Amino acid sequence: MQHVAIADQPDELHDPDTFITKYIWSQDHKVIAIQYGLTAIFVGLVALVLSGLMRLQLGFPDTFDFIDPNAYLQFVTMHGMIMVIYLLTALLLGGFGNYLIPLMIGARDMVFPYMNMLSYWTYLLSVIVLLASFFVPGGPTGAGWTLYPPQAILQGTPGYDWGIILMLASLAIFIVAFTMGGLNYVTTVLQARTRGMTLMRMPLTIWGIFTATVLGLLAFPALLVSAIMMMLDKVIGTSFFMPALVSLGENLDYTGGSPVLFQHLFWFFGHPEVYIVALPAFGMVSDVLATHARKNIFGYRMMVWAIVAIGGLSFIVWAHHMYVSGMHPAFGFFFATTTLIIAVPTALKVYNWVLTLWQGNIHLTVPMLFAIGFIFTFTHGGLTGLFLGNVTIDLPLSDTYFVVAHFHMVMGVSPIMVLFAAIYHWYPLMTGRMFNETLGKLHFWFTFLGTYAIYLPMHYLGFLGVPRRYFAMGSTDFIPESAVSLNASITVSALIVGVSQLFFLYNVFWSMRHGKKAEPNPWHATSLEWQTPDVPPHHGNWGPELPTVYRWAYDYSVPGAPEDYIPQNHPVSAEEGTAGEEEAHA
Partner 1 sequence: MKLAIVLVLLVIGSVLFHFLSPWWFTPLASNWDTIDTTIDVTFWITGAVFIAVNLFMAYAVYRYRHNPKRRAHYEPENKKLEWWLTIITTVGVVAMLAPGLVVWADFVKVPEDADQVEVLGEQWQWSYRFPGEDGKLGAVDARWIGPDNPFGMAPDDPAGADDVLVRSNELHLPLDRPVKLLLRSRDVLHDFAVPQFRVKMDLVPGHVSYVWFTPTRTGKFDVLCMELCGIAHYAMRGYVVVDSNEDFQSWLGEQPTWSEIQGIPPGDAVAGQGQYATCAACHGAQGEGNEALNAPALAGLPDWYIARQLAHYRSGIRGAHPEDTYGQQMAPMANMLPDEQSVRNVTAYLDSLPAAAPASTLPGNPKAGASHYTTCGACHGAQAQGNYALQAPRLAGQQDWYLKRQLDNFRQGIRGSDQRDNYGHQMVLMARALQDEQSVNDLLAYLNTL
Range 461-490, binding partner 1 (CB under 8 A): 461, 463-465, 467, 469-474, 476-478, 480, 482-483, 486
In the complex, minimum distance from the CB of residue 287 to partner 1, in angstroms, rounded to a whole number: 15
Site string for partner 1, 393-432 (x = CB under 8 A): x-xx-xxx--------------------------------
Question: How many residues bind partner 1, per CB under 8 A?
Answer: 125
Q: Binding to partner 1 (CB under 8 A): which residues in 59-118?
A: 61-65, 67-70, 73
449 binding partner 1? (CB under 8 A): yes
* Residue closer to partner 1, measured from CB, 215 or 309: 309
* Interatomic CA distance for residues 5 and 102, integer angstroms: 8
Three-state secondary structure of 107-166: CCCCCCHHHHHHHHHHHHHHHHHHHHHHHCCCCCCCCCCCCCCCHHHCCCCCCCCHHHHH
Q: Shortest gap between Cβ of 121 and partner 1 (angstroms)?
A: 34
**Are 99 and 205 in contact, with CB atoms under 8 Å apart?**
no
318 belongs to the binding site for partner 1 (CB under 8 A): no
CB of 533 to partner 1, least distance (A): 29
User: How far are the Cα atoms of 7, 327, 502 from residue 549, in angstroms, in the given order?
Assistant: 15, 52, 40
Q: Which is nearer to partner 1, 102 or 385 (CB)?
A: 385
Residue from 556, 568, 569, 570 that binds partner 1 (CB under 8 A)? 556
> Within positions 210 to 229, which residues make up the interface with partner 1, using CB under 8 A?
none
Considering only 124, 125, 347, 488, the residue that binds partner 1 (CB under 8 A) is 347
What is the per-residue burial (b if ≥16 Cβ within 10 Å, else e) of 208-229? Answer: bbbbbbbbbbbbbebbbebbeb
**Burial class of residue 359 (count of CB atoms within 10 Å of its CB; 0-12, 13-18, 19+):** exposed
Position among 80, 142, 272, 412 found at the interface with partner 1 (CB under 8 A): 142
Minimum distance from residue 73 beta carbon to partner 1 (Å): 7
Distance CA(89)–CA(216), nearest Å, equals 9
* CA dist 380 → 329, 406, 452, 456 (Å): 28, 8, 10, 9
Q: Which is nearer to partner 1, 113 or 142 (CB)?
A: 142
- Select from 132, 386, 484, 492 the one that contacts partner 1 (CB under 8 A): 386
Residues 6 or more apart whose CB falls under 8 angstroms from that of 559 comprise: 579
Residue 288 to residue 104: CA distance in whole angstroms: 14
Determine, following the binding rule CB under 8 A, whether residue 10 of this chain makes contact with partner 1.
no
Q: Is 22 in the site for partner 1 (CB under 8 A)?
A: no
Report, in Å, the least distance between residue 6 CB and partner 1.
29
User: Interaction with partner 1 in 255-314: which residues (CB under 8 A)?
Assistant: 256-260, 293-296, 298-302
- Please, is 232 exposed, middle or buried when counting C-beta atoms within 10 Å of its C-beta (0-12, 13-18, 19+)? middle
Contact range with partner 1 by CB under 8 A, out of 109-117, 184-192, 331-339, 539-547:
331-339
Q: Which of 34, 54, 366, 375: binder of partner 1 (CB under 8 A)?
A: 375
Which of the stretches 85-93, 265-273, 324-332, 499-507 binds partner 1 when contact is defined by CB under 8 A?
324-332
Minimum distance, C-beta of residue 285 to partner 1, in the bound complex (Å): 13
CB of 34 to partner 1, least distance (A): 31
* Residue range at the interface with partner 1 (CB under 8 A); choices 14-22, 46-54, 277-285, 341-349: 341-349
Residues 6+ apart with CB under 8 A from 554: 290, 296, 297, 300, 526, 584
Q: Taking contact as CB under 8 A, which single stretch among the options 187-195, 279-287, 510-518, 557-565 is the one that binds partner 1?
A: 557-565
Among positions 157, 491, 493, 511, the unique one binding partner 1 when judged by CB under 8 A: 157
Among 248, 517, 562, 571, binds partner 1 (CB under 8 A): 248
Give the N- to C-terminal CA distance of the chain in Å, as an integer.
37
Shortest distance in whole angstroms from residue 449 CB to partner 1: 8
Beta bridge partners of 129: none
Alpha helices in 192-246 (DSSP H): 204-235
Query: Among 21, 379, 500, 548, which residue sits at the site for partner 1 (rule: CB under 8 A)?
Result: 379
CB of 578 to partner 1, least distance (A): 13
Binding pattern to partner 1, positions 185-204, x when CB under 8 A? Answer: --------------------
Q: How many Cα atoms within 13 Å fall on the side-chain side of residue 449?
A: 8
What whole-number distance in Å separates Cα of residue 465 and Cα of residue 463?
A: 5
Member of 6, 124, 228, 456 binding partner 1 (CB under 8 A): 456
Q: Which stretch binds partner 1 (CB under 8 A): 192-200, 239-247, 275-283, 408-416?
A: 239-247
Cα gap 202→266, rounded to integer Å: 33
Q: Does 330 interact with partner 1 (rule: CB under 8 A)?
A: yes
| C-alpha distance from residue 525 to each of 31, 162, 279, 405, 430 (Å) | 23, 50, 21, 35, 15
- Neighbouring CB atoms inside 10 A of 355's CB total 14
**How many angstroms separate the Cα of 320 from the Cα of each of 313, 381, 427?**
13, 16, 38
The region of 18-26, 150-158, 162-170, 197-205 touching partner 1 under the rule CB under 8 A is 150-158
Least gap, CB of 368 to partner 1 (angstroms): 9
Of 128, 200, 344, 505, the one binding partner 1 by CB under 8 A: 344
| Of 375, 454, 357, nearest in space to 418 by CA | 375
**Can you tell me the distance from the alpha carbon of 63 to that of 389, in angstroms, rounded to the nearest whole number?**
37
Nearest to 553 by CA among 199, 307, 282: 199
Residue whose CB is less far from partner 1, 60 or 121: 60
Please say whether the beta carbons of 120 and 36 come within 8 A. Answer: yes
